A = this chain, B = another copy of it.
Amino acid sequence: MTPQNKKIPRMSLERLPIYYRTLCNLADAGYLRIKSAQLGRIIHLEATTIRRDFSYFGDLGKSGYGYDIAHLIEIFGTILEVNHTQGLALIGVGNLGRALLINNFRRNPNLEIVAAYDVDPAVIGGIINEVPIQALADLEDDLKAKQIKGVISTVPSHALQEVVDQLVMFGVTSILSFAPEPVHVPESVHVRYLDLTSEVQNLLLLAELS
């Protein structure tokens, strides 16, 4: 987006959605401006971390004044492409998949699951929350037709790599997997793992050690 993309730290980008959401909440509550110190208190970050993060996206604040909330929302929204709705596919409509589908990013108008797939004949053909559930075999035409770049997978570990290989072949560039097993993908494809078991074990371990 900005010319010097490459140099924005990963961590600053990771915080962008949080900044965006928090600022939207503040705007909804009627606030017009905010200082880095206040925002820091809300989201538990040092003011200086926030200022540095913001600085990567331009000169957004004014000395002795703070930041204009609407302006920040405008800038961050553009970066996050909140205006252009991103169609997502869901692979795996088990209990978790169904819950995701029913929720379907209701609060986020720019994210939407538009297609769902499974291998179980019992669920194929059904419709959940207006999204039809299709056979995995239909993946190709559909992904390409709908220009889907992002996929959420609740596919279990043993079947995952095979599915992911297909996704990559059909042009998917972003995959969020709820299975812990790492999958092999080309450099250009981004995978993120959301492993509930690891998260919980870690949390308990930290508590244990402290």
Task: Give A38-56 interface residues, CB cut-off 8 Å to B.
Answer: 42-44
| A180 close to B13 (CB less than 8 A) | no
Q: 5 pairs across A/B with beta carbons < 8 Å?
A: A42-B182, A96-B96, A98-B99, A105-B196, A174-B204
| A197 close to B95 (CB less than 8 A) | no
**Which one of A14-22, A60-68, A117-125 is at the interface?**
A14-22
Type the 1/0 row for A108-128, where 1 means its CB is closer than 8 Å to any CB of B. Answer: 100100000000000000000
Type the 1/0 row for A163-204, where 1 means its CB is closer than 8 Å to any CB of B. Answer: 000000000011110001010000010101011111111111
Measured between C-beta atoms, what is the minimum distance from A151 to chain B in Å? 10
Query: Number of A residues contacting the other chain (C-beta, 8 Å)?
Result: 58
- Picked from B18, B86, B195, the residue with its CB within 8 Å of the CB of A198 is B18
Would A5 and B209 be within 8 Å (CB), given that A18-B180, A102-B95, A204-B86 are in contact?
yes
Measured between C-beta atoms, what is the minimum distance from A41 to chain B in Å? 10
CA distance A197 to B8 in the complex (A): 21
Would A203 and B174 be within 8 Å (CB), given that A5-B209, A108-B197 are in contact?
yes
Listed from nearest, the 8 A-B pairs whose CB atoms lie closest are A95-B99, A17-B198, A99-B99, A174-B203, A173-B207, A17-B201, A96-B99, A174-B207
Measured between C-beta atoms, what is the minimum distance from A10 to chain B in Å? 8
| B17 close to A174 (CB less than 8 A) | no
Q: Closest B-chain residue to A157, C-beta based?
A: B25
CA distance A1 to B176 in the complex (A): 34
| B190 close to A14 (CB less than 8 A) | no
